[in-house]
A and B are shown apart, each in its own frame.
Chain A
């Protein structure tokens, strides 16, 4: 069944057809949110939220853009909102935990320098400007063609290429600084 027919059928009340849409796109949505939140449980929760939102607002999908483009936009917005909420919530708890650990066993400096390379890469990715980060996630995590990334981000293909080059350079700069620390 084509995507448009599938959407029509869902809108007519065949809820079970939505399962087909979920199965087709769940991995993509999960990977995209994984690239932004770096935690599989959080990514699963976001994927669930995304599909619930999609189901609720399916009637507003006008078909001007591809369904996947619309879906990825919802996935990005949901992930970014999730991160903002989490950041606000975790700021104080994280700081308190770090200080508690530091006062007990090690200095803050020791804890930070002992972090694994993966944590440093994750931090470097999160430190990228939002557009660069999104372009990176879409092309590296989801391996979407540049044309589709451009459609999702509402910019030109050249713009996507520029963002990817800048993202790579920035990542290297941050990693050089972090990983070569004495």
Chain B
């Protein structure tokens, strides 16, 4: 088993065995059928009926999302916030009136 020739022979006979494997004689027919099937799937996906249906459903979803989002709004008493809001500390006008800082 050690000789180089024996290894070569082993490899060659393995390759020959795999090379001589026969495939389905109707393989080309099978391939053409697969191509046709893919074409039909593509046609179904992009057919005008589907396009119209997808657009209609998208519009409905958009409308209902808008209504649902609008429904989330809650009225709130903002008057209280206005009272509590004091801008006195926001800007120190006295700072600009001091002579050294002018």
User: A residues near B, CB below 8 A?
Assistant: 15, 18-19, 22-23, 26-27, 30-31, 34-35, 38, 40, 43-44, 47-48, 51-52, 55-56, 117-118, 121-122, 140-141, 171-172, 175-176, 179-180
**20 more A-B residue pairs beyond the given contacts A35-B18, A51-B31, with a C-beta to C-beta distance below 8 A:** A18-B32, A19-B28, A22-B27, A23-B28, A26-B27, A26-B28, A34-B19, A40-B23, A44-B27, A48-B30, A52-B34, A52-B38, A56-B38, A121-B14, A141-B19, A171-B7, A171-B11, A175-B11, A180-B1, A180-B2
Is B90 interfacial (CB-CB < 8 Å)? no
CB within 8 Å for A179 and B18 given contacts A15-B35, A23-B28, A121-B10: no
Q: Taking beta carbons and an 8 Å cutoff, which residues of B are in contact with A?
A: 1-2, 4, 7, 10-11, 14-15, 17-19, 21-24, 27-28, 30-32, 34-35, 38
**Would A121 and B11 count as touching, CB distance under 8 A?**
yes
Chain A residues whose CB sits within 8 angstroms of the CB of B17 once the complex forms: 118
Tell me the dominant secondary structure on chain A's binding face: helix
Alpha-carbon distance A18/B29, docked complex (angstroms) = 11
Show 5 A/B contacts (Cβ-Cβ < 8 Å), sorted by A.
A22-B32, A35-B15, A52-B31, A52-B34, A172-B4
- Chain A residues closer than 8 Å to B22, beta-carbon distance: 40
Q: With both chains docked as a complex, state the minimum distance between the C-beta of A27 and any C-beta of chain B, in angstroms.
A: 8
Known contacts A117-B10, A172-B7: A47-B15 contact under CB 8 Å: no
Nearest CB in chain B: distance from A36 CB, A: 10
Q: Are B21 and A34 in contact (CB under 8 A)?
A: yes
Q: How far is the CA of A77 from the CA of B4 in the complex (A)?
A: 33
Distance of B50 from chain A, by nearest CB (Å): 20
Instruction: Say yes or no: A40 contacts B10, CB within 8 Å.
Output: no
Set of chain B residues within 8 Å of A27, measured between Cβ atoms: 23
Asked if A22 meets B18 with Cβ closer than 8 Å, knowing A40-B23, A48-B34, A172-B7, the reply is no
